[in-house]
Structure 1
Amino acid sequence: MNVRLLALAGVVVCAVALPLTVASAGQVGDARRAAVRTPGRADAAAPGAGAAAPGADAKDPSTAPTPTPLLLGLGLATAARCGPELASPDGVEAQTCVMTQGAETWARAYYRNATGRALDAVLSFMGPGDRTVQTRCAVGADDEPGTCETPRERVRGVPGAYTAVTEFAARGADGPLLLRSGSNSEVSTGS
């Protein structure tokens, strides 16, 4: 009897954890990555990537890294500095992060819109030398988890010098601000 109860509890935990894991992982596939690439960035793989070394047995698997959409652009070398998860009384939930992978950095906002209406979001990514990049994202009214990202750029200075802020507002020129979420506690506020 206890074995069945433990098995049932395990299934329930997996059923709850899997959607949360998928929501926090970001978008799947190369189509999303292509949309956030910086113009002029070399998209081709490094010369010889995936090719066997001279004199190596062709049957041996290659140890060279190969691009795969299953990695979601995240790996062991990706660091995320995220502010707190915030929720507005109107039903917007968000968390804003500064992502760093190798020599690249960018901003990402995770959100869920339970307001029942479409919203506009502006993700601002601020770095050293008063550099600011803004990305506008349309937030659907479907109450599904989503992400918004800025294009990736080369790290200038130290990664800790970057911050990000996401503002969610009702659609339209005079739409009221519903939530402001930041990558650190100094800029994260719920409205």
Structure 2
Amino acid sequence: MRIYGLILAGGRATRMGGVDKGLQLFRGRPLALNAFERLKPQTDEILLSANRSEEAYRRMLPAGTKILPDLRPDFAGPLAGLEAAMSCIPEGERKKAWLVTVPCDCPFFPENLVESLKESGTPAVAAAGGRLQPSFLWVPASFLPRLSAYLDSGERKLGLWARQAGCLEVNFPDAAAFQNCNSFEELSFAEALSAPSRKGSVSV
């Protein structure tokens, strides 16, 4: 098995006035870089979904990091980023490749995220605090045809696709670890927090 981590940074960030969210600073570092450093120890390779600011990301991230624009126009959502990531994996490798997705704007996501999702033994999606966390998916690259068909149908919702794909919910104990930053106010609030507990038991 080869594990790819996919950082989702390809959105419009409308609640931040349209800035590139992955480049906004969190405790002095870009959000996307924070996500990269947090996810790298859990994976074999990191991919970045981004639809703009390619040169800025290339300067920021280690050389050789794949920066992937959507294959579809008009900011088609995080699943379009996942589609692009699956498509970049050579066809012969897809049967053994898995991807874990994380949004760039969630600075405290668990350091045992991959370990916990992988232990489910099946495609999985994170949950915490009684809520699904659909941006945190664990799926095989071989799901590419069904993902493309879902997007071709006009659907975009992450949670709906996770359920249709048979993803098992894996419950994490600390909901604060999944706090995201959709606005500058939320980003400032997160900066003021101590990092929540990153590990702990999970249930499925």
Give the structure-1-normalised TM-score. 0.28
Higher relative contact order (CA 8 A, sep 6+): 2
> In proportion to residue count, which structure has more helix?
2
The normalised TM-score by structure 2 is 0.27
Name the larger-Rg structure.
Answer: 1
